[in-house]
Chain A
Amino acid sequence: MTAPLLAACVTTSDDGGKPADTGGAKSAENPLGVKPEASLEVVVFKGGYGDEYAIKAENKYKEKYPQATIDHKGLQKVGEAMQPRFVAGNPPDVVDNTGAGRLDIATLVNAKQVTDLAELLDAPAFDQPGKKVRDTLLPGVVEDGTFGGSPVVLNFTYTAWGVWYSKSLFAERGWTYPTTWDDMLALSETIKKAGIAPWTYQGKYPEYINDPLLTMAAKAGGLDLVKAVDNLQPDAWKQPGLVQAAEAFAELAGKGYLMSGSEALSHTEAQAAWCQKKAAFIPCGSWLEAEQKDVTPAGFDMLMGTVPGGAGDKLPVTAVQAASSESYLVPAKAKNVAGGQEYLRILFSLASAKEFAQANNTLPAVAGATEGLTLTSGLGSVRDTVVAAGPNAFNYRFRTWYAPLAKAVDDATGELVNRRISPADWSTRIQKASDALAKDTTVVKYTR
Chain B
Amino acid sequence: MKHGRWRFLLAALVPALVLHVVFVLSPYAQAFYLSMTDWTGVAGEAHFVGTDNFARLGGDTLFLDAVRNNAVMLLVVPAATIAIALFLASMLNGRRPVRGSSAYQIVYFFPQMLSLVIIGVLWAFVYSPNTGLLNSGLRAVGLSGLAQSWLGEPSWALIAVMAVVVWSSVGFYVVLFSAAIDAIPRELFEAATLDGAGRWATFRGVTLPLVRESVQVAFVYLGILALDGFVLVQVMTVGPGGPDGATEVVGLSLYRTAFTYGKFGYATAMGVALFFASLTLAVFALRWGRRNQVEMA
A172 at the interface (CB under 8 A from B): no
CB distance from B151 to the nearest CB of A (A): 5
B239 touching A203, Cβ below 8 Å: no
CB distance from A101 to the nearest CB of B (A): 6
B42 touching A111, Cβ below 8 Å: yes
B187 at the interface (CB under 8 A from A): no
CB distance from B145 to the nearest CB of A (A): 14
B30 touching A103, Cβ below 8 Å: no
A89 touching B128, Cβ below 8 Å: no
A183 at the interface (CB under 8 A from B): no
A104 touching B261, Cβ below 8 Å: yes
A418 touching B152, Cβ below 8 Å: yes
A3 touching B130, Cβ below 8 Å: no
Q: How far is the CA of A113 from the CA of B43 in the complex (A)?
A: 7
Contact of A11 among B46, B124, B151 (CB under 8 A): B46
A10 touching B38, Cβ below 8 Å: no
Contact (A411, B43) CB under 8 Å given A2-B29, A9-B30, A204-B239: no
B38 touching A442, Cβ below 8 Å: yes
Q: Which chain A residues border B131 with CB–CB below 8 Å?
A: 269
CB interface residues, A 45-97, toward B, < 8 Å: 79, 83, 86-89
Interface residues on B, range: 35 or more
Which of B85-93, B240-248, B284-292 makes up part of the contact surface?
A: B240-248
Q: How far is the CA of A179 from the CA of B38 in the complex (A)?
A: 49
A101 touching B261, Cβ below 8 Å: no
Residue of B whose beta carbon sits closest to that of A110: B40
Q: Which chain B residues border A414 with CB–CB below 8 Å?
A: 238-239, 242-244
Q: How far is the CA of A106 from the CA of B33 in the complex (A)?
A: 24
A206 at the interface (CB under 8 A from B): yes
CB interface residues, B 114-161, toward A, < 8 Å: 124, 127-131, 149-152, 154
Which of A115-123, A162-170, A260-268, A377-385 makes up part of the contact surface?
A: A260-268
B242 touching A11, Cβ below 8 Å: no
B46 touching A10, Cβ below 8 Å: yes
CB distance from B62 to the nearest CB of A (A): 8
Contact of A10 among B30, B127, B152, B154 (CB under 8 A): B30
A206 touching B239, Cβ below 8 Å: yes
B42 touching A411, Cβ below 8 Å: no
A297 at the interface (CB under 8 A from B): no
CB distance from B27 to the nearest CB of A (A): 9
Q: Which chain B residues border A89 with CB–CB below 8 Å?
A: 44
Interface residues on A, range: 35 or more
A88 touching B261, Cβ below 8 Å: no
Q: How far is the CA of A7 from the CA of B44 in the complex (A)?
A: 10
CB distance from B40 to the nearest CB of A (A): 5
B173 at the interface (CB under 8 A from A): no
Contact with B along A164-203 (1 / 0, CB 8 A): 0000000000000000000000000000000000000001
Q: How far is the CA of A86 from the CA of B264 in the complex (A)?
A: 14
Q: Which chain B residues border A103 with CB–CB below 8 Å?
A: 41-42, 262
Contact of A264 among B238, B244, B256 (CB under 8 A): B238
- Most chain-B Cβ atoms within 10 A of its Cβ — which of A10, A88, A108? A10
Q: Which chain B residues border A442 with CB–CB below 8 Å?
A: 38, 263
A415 at the interface (CB under 8 A from B): yes
CB interface residues, B 15-72, toward A, < 8 Å: 26, 29-30, 33-34, 37-46, 48, 62
Contact of B44 among A2, A13, A205 (CB under 8 A): A13
Residue of A whose beta carbon sits closest to that of B56: A442
Contact with B along A372-412 (1 / 0, CB 8 A): 00000000000000000000000000000001100100111
B44 touching A83, Cβ below 8 Å: no
B275 at the interface (CB under 8 A from A): no
Q: How far is the CA of A88 from the CA of B154 in the complex (A)?
A: 43
CB distance from B50 to the nearest CB of A (A): 11
A206 touching B260, Cβ below 8 Å: no
B259 at the interface (CB under 8 A from A): yes
Q: Would you mind naming 18 contact pairs between A and B with Cβ atoms under 8 Å apart? A: A2-B33, A6-B26, A6-B30, A9-B26, A10-B44, A11-B45, A12-B44, A83-B41, A86-B42, A108-B42, A113-B42, A260-B149, A263-B149, A412-B244, A414-B239, A418-B152, A418-B243, A442-B263
